[in-house]
């Protein structure tokens, strides 16, 4: 995640513009926010936290990037702290809603990070995730890194915002997000596949494919 400290302001500016449609899709799947205690994991510069607060939520946010947290704190819309998603610094069964937008793909262990999000969610509460689609991982691995094994543990080179920012992130499979350990603790209520060109680089011209997916889990009672 160190690369996000290097271009935090550029990334924040890009997300304000090119990801508006993506965010609208994500916000539409969230439950009523008014009066809810919400944790945003991988909160970045606090854009989503500011929206949640505007809808009446009490907002907490966390991110591994010191620079992103500094920008989020300037919004004065919630409590933001630097922390890794693999070890969420909150007690179990605390939050009504836990969200994560374009952050979960950064971890090496998706099931573990998801279980941490489930842990801090109240029974019956919602965990809503927007993350890179594994099919996009595969295409970017093949085109940018010359790696053709979908199942291989690997780093994936990708470009965002009209090729202006280069990222190197972990590659994942669909089963990482549907691991039995996760589904024993939370039911999957929704899975949507979406495309967000040009926010994401279209690695094969003319080929339309899912670049991200939205998953909505509900913690078992």
Q: How far is C-alpha 133 from the chain's CA centre?
A: 11
Instruction: Provide the residue ranges of all domains of the chain, joining segments of one domain with +.
Output: 2-132+173-196+213-219
pLDDT at 3 (0 to 100): 53
pLDDT at 218 over 80: yes
Confidence category of residue 51, pLDDT binned at 50, 70, 90: very high
- The structure tokens listed for 91 are 């007690």
pLDDT at 7 (0 to 100): 53
User: How large is the angle between the packed helices 20-28 and 47-54, nearest 10 degrees?
Assistant: 50
Interval 69-110: pLDDT, tens: 999 999 999 999 999 999 999 999 999 999 999 999 999 999
pLDDT at 196 (0 to 100): 87
Sign of CA dihedral 85, 216, 4, 200: positive
Contacts 24+ apart (CB under 8 A), 200-203: 200/136, 200/158, 200/160, 201/140, 201/158, 201/159, 201/160, 201/162, 201/163, 203/139, 203/140, 203/143, 203/144
pLDDT at 15 (0 to 100): 56
pLDDT at 11 over 80: no
pLDDT at 9 (0 to 100): 56
Interval 137-177: pLDDT, tens: 999 999 999 999 999 989 999 888 777 788 899 999 999 99
CA-to-CA separations, 130 to 65, 78, 188, 196, in angstroms, rounded: 19, 21, 14, 12
pLDDT at 17 (0 to 100): 58
> DSSP secondary structure string, 13-27?
HHHHHHTHHHHHHHH
Pairwise CA distance, residues 146 & 180, whole Å: 31
Domain 2-132+173-196+213-219 carries which CATH code?
3.40.50.150
Residue-averaged pLDDT of the chain: 92
Compute the average pLDDT of residues 14-21. Answer: 65
Compute the average pLDDT of residues 13-24. Answer: 71
pLDDT at 32 (0 to 100): 98
Task: Decide if 75 contacts 46 (C-beta within 8 A).
Answer: yes
Q: What is residue 143's three-state secondary structure? A: helix
Pairwise CA distance, residues 83 & 46, whole Å: 14
Residue 216: CA atoms inside 13 Å, Cβ hemisphere, count? 16
pLDDT at 85 (0 to 100): 98
**Higher-scoring residue by pLDDT: 203, 83:** 83
């Amino acid at each position: 995640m160190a690369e996000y400290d290097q271009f935090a302001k550029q990334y924040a500016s890009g997300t304000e513009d090119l990801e508006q449609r993506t965010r609208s899709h994500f916000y539409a799947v969230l439950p009523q926010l008014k009066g809810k205690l919400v944790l945003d994991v991988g909160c970045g510069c606090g854009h989503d936290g500011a929206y949640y607060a505007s809808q009446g939520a009490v907002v907490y946010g966390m991110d591994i990037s010191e620079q992103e947290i500094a920008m989020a704190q300037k919004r004065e819309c919630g409590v933001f702290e630097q922390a890794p998603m693999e070890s969420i610094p909150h007690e179990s069964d605390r939050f009504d809603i836990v969200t994560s937008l374009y952050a979960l793909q950064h971890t090496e262990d998706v099931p573990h990070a998801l279980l941490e999000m489930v842990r801090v969610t109240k029974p019956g509460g919602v965990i809503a995730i927007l993350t890179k689609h594994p099919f996009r991982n595969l295409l970017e691995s093949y085109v940018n890194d010359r790696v053709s094994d979908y199942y291989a543990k690997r780093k994936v080179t990708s470009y965002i915002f009209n090729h202006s920012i280069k990222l190197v992130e972990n590659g994942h499979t669909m089963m990482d997000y549907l691991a039995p350990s996760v589904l024993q603790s939370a039911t999957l209520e929704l899975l949507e596949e979406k495309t967000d060109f040009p926010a994401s680089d279209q690695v094969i011209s003319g080929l339309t494919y899912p670049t991200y997916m939205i998953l909505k889990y509900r913690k078992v009672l």
